Amino acid sequence: MSVKTPETKSRAIELLLSPVNNKHLANLCGALDENLRQIETALDVSIARRGERFTLRGDSAQTTRASEALQQFYAQAKEALSVDEIQLGLIEILNRPVRKTSSGGGVSPALMTRKSELHGRTPRQIEYLKHIQEHDITFGTGPAGTGKTYLAVASAVDAFERELVQRIVLTRPAVEAGERLGFLPGDLTQKVDPYLRPLYDALYDLMGFERVGKLFERGSIEIAPLAYMRGRTLNHAFIILDEAQNTTPEQMKMFLTRIGIGAKAVVTGDVTQIDLQRGQKSGLIEARLILQEVRGIAFTEFLKEDVVRHPLVARIVSAYEAHTAALEALEAKSRARHHAEKN
């Protein structure tokens, strides 16, 4: 493969993919060049192709990324590339320049799940997975879509498959229902099931529906509201507390003291999405302050750059942020002019 870049600061580069393989080229481009359109949209470039020769136009940094993407996907194109492979690969490429964290980056730990391609896509996701493997208690906080819960469940499945733990226990508070819980139809399990659904979905995706069902019957996997944890001691278990921002300080302390011999715990939450009553403290916020220096406990703080969704989402978020910034600038200018006129 060779890349030809004009000597001047042009916004176009040429990429020649080799060795030439027409089947691989077809798999790379996708039906009706759909894969190329995905790359164009995600990286804000234009791509023209003649055989194995590609011309990339756009911002110089983005054309460089597009060149990397084409070479990476061409190397994977022995078989047809799925939309998932293209979009997840683009997310990795977009996150490569993200600043390095203290122990982030490097090679993502391999996880033994049904999804063999599963791994950390951003430096902080890799850091998170390493923290989970190396510490007995790990806190993962940050916005929705960063993989906090999914990667925690994947780590639990990995530990279970490797027989490092004997069971998986997943829990979360059902705060959103509050006093309205009694008005929902069904018994208590049916009432709280909607709040536990993201955990079920992750398990089914990582282990398969039938296997998860059998493990539930054997008691090897347990999903329950946080209130069910009181009075228990969980030995040789991988325990995940999801939506921890909705725990009270008392509930958080109760949960953390359930951890027994040979157990590992992961606590996830988004402190910007607290559903507790006004004035009530979040156990997650308090725990981060109290436990920050405790040896054996790790913290990973995800940022918006770690959101693993359609690559177009990042551009949508940036557009909204630019719009908000422009409005704030106009308002500040208007206030300054009004103040000057008043004086």
How far, in Å, CA of 223 to CA of 227, rounded?
Answer: 12
Alpha-carbon distance 167 to 222, whole Å? 8
101-156 confidence digits (pLDDT tens): 444 456 778 898 888 778 888 889 999 999 999 999 999 999 888 889 999 999 99
CA distances from 220 to 44, 126, 167, 238 (A): 47, 27, 4, 11
Under the banding of pLDDT at 50, 70 and 90, the label for residue 177 is very low
Which pLDDT does position 256 carry in this prediction?
95
pTM for this predicted structure: 0.67
Confidence class for position 189, pLDDT limits 50, 70, 90: low
For residue 53, give the nearest of 86, 29, 82, 80 by alpha carbon: 29
Q: Looking at residue 198, what is its pLDDT?
A: 83
What pLDDT was estimated at residue 304?
A: 78
Phi, psi of 220 (to 5 degrees): -75, -20
At residue 20, the 3 state secondary structure works out as coil
Provide the CA 177 distance to its chain's centre, in angstroms: 26
pLDDT tens digits, 242-275: 999 999 999 999 999 999 999 999 999 999 888 8
